[in-house]
A = this chain, B = another copy of it.
Amino acid sequence: MSAADRLDHTMLALADPTRRAILSRLAKGEARVTDLAAPFEISLNSVSKHIRILERAHLVTRRRLGREHFLSRNARALDEAAAWIDGLRHHWNQRLDRLERALERRS
| Chain A interfacial positions (CB closer than 8 Å to B) | 4, 7-12, 14-17, 20, 23-24, 26-29, 73, 75, 78-79, 81-82, 84-86, 88-89, 91-95
Chain A contact residues: over half helix, strand or loop, or mixed?
A: helix
Across the two chains, which residue of chain B brings its CB closest to A8? B15
Determine the chain B residues whose CB is within 8 A of the CB of A28 once the complex forms: 95
Say whether B15 contacts A15, CB under 8 Å.
Answer: yes
- Taking CB atoms, residues of chain B closer than 8 Å to A15 are 7-12, 15
**Sample of 4 further A-B pairs with CB below 8 A, known A12-B15, A81-B85:** A8-B16, A27-B94, A82-B86, A85-B85
Smallest distance from the beta carbon of A70 to chain B beta carbons, Å? 15
